Amino acid sequence: ATPTSIMVGTGRAAELGVLFRKGEALQALRDVSVVALDKTGTLTKGRPELTDLLPADGFSHDEVLALVAAVESRSEHPIADAVVVAATQRGLDVAAMEGFEATPGFGVAATVGGRRVAVGADRFMTRLGLDVGAFQTAAQRLGAEGKSPLYASIDGRLAAIIAVADPIRETTAEAINALHALGLRVAMITGDNAATAAAIARQLGIDEVAAEVLPDGKVAALKTFRANGARVAFVGDGINDAPALAEADVGLAIGTGTDVAIEAADVVLMSGDLRGVINAIALSHATIGNIK
Ligand code: ADP
Ligand code: MG
């Protein structure tokens, strides 16, 4: 493509709310055959709600919720907000806590009223030496419903299984259909558990899934979609998406996402959702495709 056609293409894109931070990205997008998407905050709203809390024998629902909310009151993870909101809505007292510890990709822990409380993924409980097998059936059911199971422990005992659900954005299904109509493969990369990720992928018709990816593992997950020399675009919004946005053949950041993601991206989607991806790819086909 000529510099002039790139300028015209990126100018037209800007009118559609797609900012090309690098002109070459318009050309690179033409050759993309796989679009990999972060789940939380990209496919979904990134604002999960607490949907279930099943206490283990010897624990009560509200006791666990209040203690877990006290721990989460210090966390900035979207899951933390869901827990605190649920406790507040039930009129529970969110007590003070101390000794807060966050383990990215695993969960959080703190001491509340002298009791050590931890909440997070199944792998977090395993790391704490707890067996979550007692909740296996519940976890499978919740995952199949597209909810993300979490676990709470209190003083070294498994206290509850908790589920949060993050609503899918209204525009996501349409955007994925449009990507398929352009002949592209669509993949999902998420730190969420495999059953939940699979349920959401099935619902949206997503072709491939990399689940239970740790925060520093998104680049490696992205590389698995490069089979047979496929060029991969990655779309994300979070701090932990930045390395994958930089590594992808084209990195596209959700405009309402974190500054770190936007800095790492080649393209910024100002609409704050996936419709911009379709506009960006359609424009690259129109601009570059005609000139080649
Ligand atoms: P994602 O963006 O997919 O949620 P993260 O790496 O942020 O990926 O988190 C991975 C998993 O770790 C979460 O799905 C959850 O199970 C657990 N986790 C992380 N932080 C918290 C928290 N503050 N409260 C509960 N669970 C957490
Ligand atoms: Mg995200």
> For 92-100, what is the mean pLDDT?
97
How far does residue 51's CA lie from ligand 2's centre (Å)? Answer: 20
Confidence check: pLDDT of 146 > 50: yes
Which bound ligand lies closest to the C-alpha atom of 261? 2
Nearest CA to ligand 1 atom 19: 107
Confidence check: pLDDT of 12 > 60: yes
pLDDT tens digit string along 163-211? 999 999 999 999 999 999 999 999 999 999 999 999 999 999 999 999 9
As for ligand 1, residues whose beta carbon falls within 6 Å of it are: 39-40, 72, 75, 77, 79-80, 104-108, 119-121, 148, 150, 190-192, 215
Confidence check: pLDDT of 21 > 50: yes
Nearest CA to ligand 1 atom 27: 107
Residues with CB under 5 A from ligand 2 (ion): 38, 40-41, 237-238
How far does residue 37's CA lie from ligand 1's centre (Å)? Answer: 17
pLDDT tens digit string along 27-65? 999 999 999 999 999 999 989 999 999 999 999 999 999
Domains of the chain (ranges plus CATH)?
Answer: 3-45+168-291 (3.40.50.1000), 49-165 (3.40.1110.10)
Query: Nearest to residue 59, comparing CAs of 198, 162, 145?
Result: 162
Is the separation of the CB atoms in 40 and 79 below 8 Å? no
Which pTM was predicted? 0.85
Q: What is the pLDDT of residue 3?
A: 86
How far does residue 83's CA lie from ligand 1's centre (Å)? Answer: 13
Nearest CA to ligand 1 atom 20: 107
Q: What is the pLDDT of residue 290?
A: 54
CA–CA distance, 191 with 211 (Å, rounded to integer): 6
Q: What is the pLDDT of residue 292?
A: 43
In this structure, of 1-10, 97-106, 157-166, the range with the lowest mean pLDDT score is 1-10
Atom of ligand 1 nearest to the CA of 41: 2
Active site residues: 38
Nearest CA to ligand 1 atom 16: 121
Strand-pairing partners, residue 35, are 186, 233
